[in-house]
A = this chain, B = another copy of it.
């Protein structure tokens, strides 16, 4: 669309992320996990009328949304072959302000059926955290980090 020969590519002057889309194998199951298990708010699955359009959105902090979209749709739309999931490919961190919140949110995830990959414990760099996996092995770290502002 653009003509690269005439254009000096600009760089990302203000890098930001507005949507984090997680590829899922069973959209209904994943919506149930995030909505009913973790308490995330959503309008549910929308876009079913569009081919590969079925998706669910969840509000995170202002300016950021979580989207759940079938891996099959992501693969189809980008001409990717669909292989096995890679749990080491990505992690999301949810920071909290006390260690006890780490404990209670990991307990919430456990009650929702999530495998706990790291029971809450101190980190070698300070802080305290635990890690659970969603139904598609996307890792969520719940972390209390008193030194967060220094990073």
A residues adjacent to B (C-beta < 8 A) = 1-2, 4, 7, 9-23, 38-41, 47, 50-51, 53, 57-61, 63-66, 69, 71-72, 74-75, 77-80, 82-95, 100-101, 103-108, 110-111, 117-121, 124-125, 130-131, 136, 138-139, 141, 143, 148, 151
Contact = CB atoms under 8 A, between A and B. Distances in A.
17 contacts: A1-B121, A2-B100, A2-B107, A7-B103, A9-B111, A15-B66, A16-B95, A18-B93, A18-B94, A20-B20, A20-B90, A20-B91, A21-B91, A23-B86, A47-B125, A71-B88, A85-B86
A84 B80 CA distance: 14
Given A2-B103, A38-B11, A19 B138 contact: no
Contacts of A21: 90-93, 141
B138 A90 contact: yes
Contacts of A143: 18
User: Lowest 10 A-B CB distances belong to which pairs?
Assistant: A11-B39, A2-B103, A19-B93, A9-B108, A86-B86, A18-B95, A21-B91, A9-B107, A16-B61, A75-B88
